[in-house]
Amino acid sequence: MNRPAVHALLSHWRAHPLQLMTLLTGIALATCLWSAVQAINTEARASYDRANAQLAIGQFDELRASGSLIPLSRYSELRRAGWQVAAILEGRLRADGRSVRLMGVDMVAYPALPAISQIEQSADAPNPADMLTAPGRLLMSPKLAPLFQSADGFPPVITSTALPPDLVLTDIGVAENLLNQPGQISRLVILPDQPRGVPPLSEIASDLQRITPSTQLDTAQLTDSFHLNLSAFGLLSFAVGLFIVHGTVGLAFAQRRGTIRTLRALGLPMRNLIWIGLSELLLLALIGGVFGLVLGYFLAGALIPDVAATLRGLYGAPIDGQMSLRPRWVAAGLAMATGGTLAASGHALWRLSRMPILAGPGLQAWGGGKASALITGMCGLALLAAGAIAYFTFGGLIAGFALLAGVLTGAALLLPLLLSAVLALFIQRAKTPVSQWVLADMRAQLPGLSLALMALLLALAANIGVGTMVSSFRLTFTGWLDQRLTSELYVTAADDTQAADITEWLAPRVSAILPIRSTELAHETGPLFLYGIVDHESYRLNWPLIAEGPDVWDNVLNHGAVLINEQLARRADLWPGDTVAITPEHILQIAGVYSDYGNPTGQAIVSMPLLNQIAPNTETRRFGVRVAPDQASDLVQSLRAQFDLSPTAVVQQAAMKARSMAIFEKTFVITSALNVLTLGVAGFAILTSLLTLWTQRLPQVAPVWALGLTRAQLARLEVLRSVLLAALTACLALPLGLILAWVLLTIINVQAFGWRLPMQLFPGDWLALFLLTLAAAVLAAALPALRLLRLPPAALLRVFASER
C-alpha cells in the first residue's frame, strides 16, 4: 500500500514541475542567504582570531610610553626586576608602493606565537639561526609574499597561513634594521605567567602606561555590530525564504487533497500518510538545502572581498577575503534548511492530520477565524511594546537591535488586522455590488495572503530603512569630504629630509603648505592619534565641527586647547568644556568636536608647537598643499619629476575624494545586495501565495462568473486585487522603514561606528520602490489571472455540478 501511495503522491510533482522548482528555490534561497552570511561572519571571525592570537591583542596587558618609543634599556631593567615582558617594535614597511604593517617580536623571549608554531611544524622549517641573525626572515601570509619576494632589499620570505593578511612578522632584531630604529621598542606585552615576588610596576615603571585588554581596541568587539547587522539581514532573508516554502507546501497539499482522499478511502492509514508527507518534505529540504549551500558558498565568495574591504576600511580589521569550506557550516546550513522547511510546512501537515476522511477541498482552506487575526494583532502589539521597553530599559547596541526586531515583527503581525480594517472602511464606501464583492473577497483572502504580505512589508521596510541610511550617509559623507579635504595636493615624502627639501622647493610656488603630522598615543579608550596643525584659514573656514565652544580656533591654536573627533567624544563622553588627558602630563581643554567618518580610532588635534612638546620626535613627512586649482596638475607633474616621487606620493584632492568614496561605496555594497535579494524573495512569496489561493478560489469565482462577469473582467480584478494589497502594504511599509532608518542612524550607527548622522528623506527613492512593488504585484498576479482567462467555462460550471 505504501509504495503505490508514495507513487501517487509524488506524481503530483511530475505534473507540477514549476511548483517543485518553486519549493526547491524557496528552500535554496532561504538556505543560501542565511548560509552566505554565516560563512562571511565565520571567515571574518576566524581572521580576527588569527590576528588577535598573533598580536596578543585582547589577551595580555601591555606597557606603552605615551608618545614615544621605549628604549631597550627599560626592557632589560624590567626583565632584571623579574617582570616577564616581551618586546615588540612596530612600523610600516613599504614595498612597491604599498605599505604594510611590520611587527618585530623578540622571538627568543616570546616564542609562543602561533605563526611560529605553525612554521616550525612545517616540513621546511627554517633554521632558527636564519630567523634570528642577519639578514633574518620575514613571515607573511602567502598573499603578501609576492610583493616582498620581487622587491629588493628585504630578507627572504617565509609564508604562513596563520598570519593576518596585512602583517609582516619578523624578529625584533630584523625589524629594528628595516625600520631604522635600533634599540627601540613600541610596546611591551606583559606575559601571563609572572614569577613570585616581583615589585609593583608602579614602582619600577611609573613612566610606562599599563593598558589592559578591555580598553584596547578589540577588533572582534568593534566589528560585532557589523556582523550582527549581517546576521540580522541573513535571518530576514531566511524568514522571507520560508514564506515561499510555506506558500508552496500549502499549495501542494491543497492540490493533492483529491489524491489524499482517494488514498485514505482505499485504506491507507493517516499515520502512514503523515510519514510519507514528512519524508517527502525532508528529502526536498535536503535537496533544496544542498542547492542553497552551493549557492551560498559562491555568494559568500563573491561578497567577501567587499566585506573584507569594508572591515579593513572601517575598523582596520584584517580579513583574508578567502573562503574555506567548513563541515560545521555545511551541517548548520542543512539543519537550518530542514528545520525551516518543517517549521514552514508544519501548518500544512497539521491540517492534513486533522482532515476528515472524506473531506473535499474546503472553501476556506487557509482560513483563520477573526479570533486568530486578533490574537496575531495582540502579539504584534506586545512585540512592539517589548522592543520599546528593551530599548529604553537597557540601551546599547543589542537593545537597538531588540527595538528593531520588536518593531519589525510587531508591525508584520499587526499587518493583517490593519489591512482588514482598511478594507472594511473601503467596503463601507463602496457603491457598486462588484466593488463591494471585490473588497469583501480580498478581505476574505487576507488570512491566506497575510504571510506573503508580511514578507513584502518587511522587505519594503528594510529597503526603505537601509536605503535612507545609506543615502543619508552618502550625502553627509560627500559634504564632509568637501570640507575636510581642502588642500589641492597631498604629498607624502620618503623621510623628514626629503620632506624638508620638498617644502623648500614648494614654498615660492604655492599659497600655503599645511603639514600633516601625527603620532600614535596610548589612551584609556584605545589608540589615539594626535595631529598638529598650523594656523590657516583652511581649517578655520572648513573644518567640520559638530560641537564647539567659543573662540574654538583661537583656543586651539593659541591657548593649548584640543579638538577631538566624534568617535573619541562619544566613546569617552567628552564634549567642549571638558578636559581630556592626552598623556598623563598633558590634560587639555576640549575646544570642539569634529566629525571623522570612516575612522575607527580616536583622534585629537592640537597646535603644532604643542604637538612638538608632547611628542617631539613626530615625523614630518606628509603635508597638504594649497595652490590655485588650475595649477594643481602641472605642479604634480613637476613635483614628481623634481623629486622622483611615486604616483602614490603625490595625490590630488579629486583622487583622494574618489578613493574615499570608493571605500564608502564598498562599505554598503553587501547591504544593498542583500536588500535587493530580499525584495526579490518577497515578490516570489506573493506569487506562490496567490498560486496557492488560486486553486481554492474557483468555488468563489464561479458564482460571480455565473452572475455575468466575464472571465476577462475577473482576471483584471484578480490583478487589481493583488496590486491594491501590495500598494496598501507599501504604504504601511513607509513609516516602518523610516522608523528603521531612524533606529539605524541614531542608535545602531552610533554604537557600531561611533558617529551620528543627520537623517535625510528621499521621496524619489520611495516612489521608485512603490512602483517596483506594484510591478511585482502585477507580475505575481499575472499567472493566476492568465489561468482564469483561459479557464474553460466547463470548469467553472463543474463547480456547481461536482465540488459542492
Partner 1 sequence: MSVRAFIIFVLLPITSWAQGYAGLGGSAEGFTRPVPGYSFQFPMDHGPHPSYRIEWWYLTANLKDAEGRDYGIQWTLFRSALKPSEAEGWQSPQIWMGHAAVTTPENHYFAERLSRGGIGQAGVTADPFEAWIDEWHMRGDDLNTLSLTANGSDFGYDLKLAAQGPLVFHGDAGYSVKSADGQASYYYSQPFFAVEGILHLPDQDVEVTGKGWLDREWSSQPLAQDQSGWDWFSLSFDSGDKLMAFRLRGDRGDFTAATWIDSNGQTMPLPDGSVMLDPLESTRVAQRDVPTRWRVSLLDHNVDVEVSALTPKAWMGTRFEYWEGPVTVSGSHAGRGYLEMTGY
Q: Report d(CA 495, CA 499) in Å as an integer.
A: 6
Q: Report d(CA 27, CA 284) in Å as an integer.
A: 8
Cell 500544512 maps to which residue? 348
Closest CB 175 distance from partner 1, rounded Å = 9
Q: Does residue 568 contact residue 594 with C-beta atoms inside 8 Å? A: no
Closest CB 668 distance from partner 1, rounded Å = 44
Cβ atoms within 10 Å of 137's Cβ, excluding its own: 20
Helical (H) or strand (E) element with 651: strand 650-652
Cβ distance to partner 1 smaller for residue 172 or 780: 172
Cβ distance to partner 1 smaller for residue 126 or 361: 126
Q: Report d(CA 243, CA 686) in Å as an integer.
A: 9
Q: What are phi and psi of 655, to 5 degrees?
A: -65, -40
Q: Report d(CA 242, CA 343) in Å as an integer.
A: 9
Cβ distance to partner 1 smaller for residue 117 or 364: 117
Q: In what order do the strands lie in the sheet with 62-64?
A: 157-159, 138-140, 167-171, 98-105, 85-95, 187-190, 62-64, 209-211
Cβ distance to partner 1 smaller for residue 84 or 272: 84
Q: Where are the beta strands (DSSP E) in 477-525?
A: 489-492, 512-523
Q: Does residue 66 contact residue 583 with C-beta atoms inside 8 Å? A: yes
DSSP β-ladder status, 586-594 and 579-583: antiparallel
Cβ distance to partner 1 smaller for residue 199 or 479: 199
Q: For residue 202, give the DSSP letter.
A: H
Phi-psi category of residue 590: left, alpha or beta, with phi > 0 → left and psi -120 to 50 → alpha: beta
Cβ distance to partner 1 smaller for residue 108 or 382: 108
Closest CB 102 distance from partner 1, rounded Å = 14
Helical (H) or strand (E) element with 763: helix 763-790
Q: Report d(CA 384, CA 390) in Å as an integer.
A: 10
Q: Does residue 316 contact residue 264 with C-beta atoms inside 8 Å? A: no
Closest CB 112 distance from partner 1, rounded Å = 9
Cβ distance to partner 1 smaller for residue 109 or 779: 109
Give the binding site for partner 1 (CB under 8 A): 72-73, 75-76, 79-82, 84, 106-111, 116-117, 119-121, 125-129, 131-134, 171-173, 176, 182-183, 193-198
Closest CB 179 distance from partner 1, rounded Å = 12
Q: Does residue 86 contact residue 75 with C-beta atoms inside 8 Å? A: no
Cβ distance to partner 1 smaller for residue 124 or 630: 124
Q: Report d(CA 573, CA 580) in Å as an integer.
A: 10
Closest CB 132 distance from partner 1, rounded Å = 6
Closest CB 125 distance from partner 1, rounded Å = 6
Q: Does residue 54 contact residue 162 with C-beta atoms inside 8 Å? A: yes
Q: Does residue 566 contact residue 493 with C-beta atoms inside 8 Å? A: no
Cβ distance to partner 1 smaller for residue 132 or 220: 132
Closest CB 199 distance from partner 1, rounded Å = 10
Cβ distance to partner 1 smaller for residue 129 or 801: 129
Cβ distance to partner 1 smaller for residue 102 or 645: 102
Cell 491507507 maps to which residue? 268
SS3 592: strand
Cβ distance to partner 1 smaller for residue 193 or 630: 193
Half-sphere exposure of 323 (CA within 13 A, CB side): 23
Closest CB 101 distance from partner 1, rounded Å = 19
Closest CB 463 distance from partner 1, rounded Å = 54
Q: Which residues pair with 139 in a beta bridge?
A: 158, 169
Q: Does residue 621 contact residue 495 with C-beta atoms inside 8 Å? A: yes
Closest CB 74 distance from partner 1, rounded Å = 11
Q: Does residue 83 contact residue 245 with C-beta atoms inside 8 Å? A: no
Cβ distance to partner 1 smaller for residue 183 or 258: 183
Closest CB 108 distance from partner 1, rounded Å = 5
Closest CB 13 distance from partner 1, rounded Å = 58
Cβ distance to partner 1 smaller for residue 69 or 281: 69
b/e code 661-683 from CB counts within 10 Å (16+ = b): eebbebbbbbbebbbebbbebbb
- Using a 10 angstrom Cβ sphere, with 0-12 exposed, 13-18 middle and 19 or more buried, the burial of residue 498 is middle
The cell numbers describing 611, all together, are 604637538
Closest CB 181 distance from partner 1, rounded Å = 11
Cβ distance to partner 1 smaller for residue 74 or 697: 74
Closest CB 466 distance from partner 1, rounded Å = 49
Q: How large is the C-alpha radius of gyration of the chain?
A: 33
